[in-house]
Amino acid sequence: NASLAGILQHPDGTVLKQLQPPPRGPREQEFYNKVYDSDCCDSILLELREYLPKYFGVWSPPTAPNDTYLKLEDVTRKFNKPCIMDVKIGQKSYDPYASAEKIQQQVSKYPLMEEIGFLVLGMRVYHVSSDSYETQNQHYGRSLTKETVKDGISKFFHSGYCLRKDVVAASIQKVEKILEWFEGQTQLNFYASSLLFVYEGSCQATTVRLSDVTLAEKRRVPKGLLSGGDVLEYNNNIHVINSTENGKIEASVGKGLSKFYALHKKACSKRHHSQLSLKVENSEQDNVWKTSTCITQEHLNGNVLPQLEKVFYRMPAETKESANVEVRMIDFAHVFPSNTKDEGYIYGLKNLITVLQNILDN
């Protein structure tokens, strides 16, 4: 998220987060290296990957080889109008090695941390009515008390028209999964670490589904799909082969489908009768599309959209039902080895779930 300090959005779908000065930066880098080590066979760390942004190592600009950046998945990228909230979790936002001065500084920033167990660091909410974003900075979160925290957080789920209960429900499910992970591990304790919530702010499902198509349109036309910018003149199958290393199959599917749809419309308007088949092939690790999908239409009779809908909706049910919400753990400059459960973080998660549940119920 470009609005967070020191984070650059890269066109390749990653973000670059500048390493903080020692010991924090190296500690965060070490954490990512440990969790994403290709030799890692610890089931707890392997499961933890599901709740983190993907990590692609470190990067330095050629011009400044001493500046180091963590290269991370941009969790907001698949959204058309991403609504983003950053919530710091835990009862203490200072680590066990903090000086008295640092403890004092952290506690005075938000004295209610111990009692509430989390703190809203910022949010950015898309309002459909005004087609604009409302943002709140860290002062907003620090102004929240035990009495107002529920309303304070519900602001994030409000589109200007309505409360997005679908998003609240999906968020609860995702936070519960993270809580389960914490209940089952005693090797890491997290201080001053955050959960990043992201959901789709634009109102129509079509916008969500087609957001990748729109992105794809701007990039390039796959070779051989359009003959001279006109109608498709040949009858052989169109193969759009998508296998990307990071499981970004949806974007490439969108790319193929958007062209496919454009051709269909043209062909329909010219009463062009041909057999069109779009084959989407995916590599083993991409589980978004379980099977290769083939649409074949003997006659193009203008009945295209229903066909496309079928393709879009042939995603696994759980993808649809999660209301297009991401909840990821971020910020690991204060993660330490431990031999106990992370009670402070667990307390924060449980209280956050309670608040979200209250928003949903009322």
What CA–CA distance (Å, rounded) separates 81 from 164?
14
Is 209 in contact with 82 (CB distance < 8 Å)? no
Residues 107 and 4 grouped into a single domain: no
| Local structure of residue 221 (DSSP, 8 states) | P
Residue 295 in domain: no
Q: Which residues contact 160 (CB under 8 A, 6 or more apart)?
A: 127, 128, 129, 130
Q: Does 348 or 322 have the greater pLDDT score? A: 348
**Which of 62-76, 111-125, 234-248, 347-361 shows the lowest per-residue confidence on average (mean pLDDT)?**
234-248
**pLDDT recorded at residue 5:** 59
- pTM exceeds cut of 0.85: no
Reply yes or no on whether the pLDDT at 115 is more than 80: yes
**pLDDT recorded at residue 306:** 43
Which single residue is written with the structure tokens 């928003």? Answer: 359
Residues 91 and 185 grouped into a single domain: yes
Q: Which residues contact 336 (CB under 8 A, 6 or more apart)?
A: 95, 96, 188, 189, 191
Is 252 in contact with 240 (CB distance < 8 Å)? yes
- Range of 16's domain? 1-74
Question: What would the pLDDT profile of 137-172 be if each residue is shown by its tens digit?
Answer: 999 999 999 999 999 999 999 999 999 999 999 999
| Burial (CB count within 10 angstroms: exposed 0-12, middle 13-18, buried 19+), residue 209 | buried
Q: 200: which 2 tokens?
A: 């789709």
Reply yes or no on whether the pLDDT at 326 is more than 70: yes
Question: What would the pLDDT profile of 40-76 be if each residue is shown by its tens digit?
Answer: 999 999 999 999 999 999 999 999 999 999 999 999 9
Reply yes or no on whether the pLDDT at 184 is more than 90: yes
Q: What is the mean pLDDT of the chain?
A: 77
Residues 178 and 327 grouped into a single domain: yes
Residues 165 and 193 grouped into a single domain: yes
Residues 340 and 195 grouped into a single domain: yes
Question: What would the pLDDT profile of 232-245 be if each residue is shown by its tens digit?
Answer: 222 333 333 333 34
| Local structure of residue 152 (DSSP, 8 states) | H
Reply yes or no on whether the pLDDT at 293 is more than 90: no
If you average pLDDT over residues 227-254, what whole number do you get? 34
Size of the chain in residues: 362
pLDDT tier at 266, thresholds 50, 70, 90: very low
Reply yes or no on whether the pLDDT at 10 is more than 90: yes
What CA–CA distance (Å, rounded) separates 295 from 287?
20
Pure H helices in 145-196: 149-154, 165-183
Residues 150 and 49 grouped into a single domain: no
Residues 89 and 107 grouped into a single domain: yes
**pLDDT recorded at residue 204:** 58
The number of domains in the chain is 2
Q: What are the DSSP calls for 27-57, one per residue? A: HHHHHHHHHT-TT---HHHHHHGGGS--EEE
Q: 277: which 2 tokens?
A: 């088949």
Residues 56 and 83 grouped into a single domain: no
pLDDT tier at 231, thresholds 50, 70, 90: very low
Domain boundary among 74, 97, 116: 74
163: which strand partners?
Answer: 158
Residues 81 and 65 grouped into a single domain: no
Q: Which residues contact 200 (CB under 8 A, 6 or more apart)?
A: 79, 80, 81, 82, 83, 207, 208, 211, 324
| Local structure of residue 146 (DSSP, 8 states) | T
Residue 107 in domain: yes
Is 111 in contact with 94 (CB distance < 8 Å)? no
Reply yes or no on whether the pLDDT at 205 is more than 70: no
Residue 217 in domain: no
Reply yes or no on whether the pLDDT at 284 is more than 90: no
Reply yes or no on whether the pLDDT at 13 is more than 60: yes
Residue 294 in domain: no
pLDDT tier at 322, thresholds 50, 70, 90: low
| Amino acid at site 166 | D
Residues 68 and 86 grouped into a single domain: no
Reply yes or no on whether the pLDDT at 295 is more than 70: no
**pLDDT recorded at residue 257:** 35
Residue 284 in domain: no
Residue 267 in domain: no
